[in-house]
Chains A and B, each alone.
Chain A
């Protein structure tokens, strides 16, 4: 298995633009998580899905952030409009029910200028 695949690896965008981050979980995993890593706040959970359904989005910072999981093999995290304070590394992770190991993707480094 190729692991959790995230794209793009790096994204530089101008303030106000829409940004879409993509994630392909490991095949068969039924949980998908989006985390954000910043120097100030460390690693924080934004949202997670179970069987493609959003379960807890309490970590989503504001309405500018949205996440979808249209099928078991794909998820997106969208920021519209983006702001400089959104600059961070965004990680996607997946796991299978009953197995408490989380596999992380390589992350997307987002820079909003």
Chain B
């Protein structure tokens, strides 16, 4: 069965600190996709990144970076030099690519509070 675990419920940092949000997933499929979404206080779900299971190359986008390690079934998200605007709930999610399964399974989310 698919499962996404975000063990960190809440993280509080001071502006300019680096912060890593952890994500561990479970799946029996060999082909799958991993996602990160941001939910700011306004409530919408904002897509950040998608990775497929065959591409373990780490990715950097500005202050954001993602570390995908199949060996540990982890897809961690790091924000460098955090800013107050980064305050949000961050969700990691998994989707199996094959068969009839098209569900996006979400973790429980990590609330990030960046203090000025």
Contacts and interface: CB of A to CB of B under 8 A. Distances in A.
A103 interface: yes
Interface residues of A, number: 22
Interface string B64-84: 000000000000000000000
Interface string A28-45: 000101000000001111
Contacts of B97: 100
A43 B106 contact: yes
A50 B95 CA distance: 16
Interface in B15-59: 33, 35, 37, 43-45, 47, 50, 52
A45 B104 contact: yes
B69 to A, nearest CB: 20
Given A100-B33, A100-B50, A48 B43 contact: no
A55 B35 CA distance: 22
B91 A103 contact: no
A102 B106 CA distance: 12
B108 interface: yes
A31 B102 contact: yes
Contacts of B91: 43
B1 interface: no
Contacts of B95: 100, 102
Nearest to A42: B108
Nearest to B97: A100
Interface of B: 33, 35, 37, 43-45, 47, 50, 52, 91, 95, 97, 100, 102-109
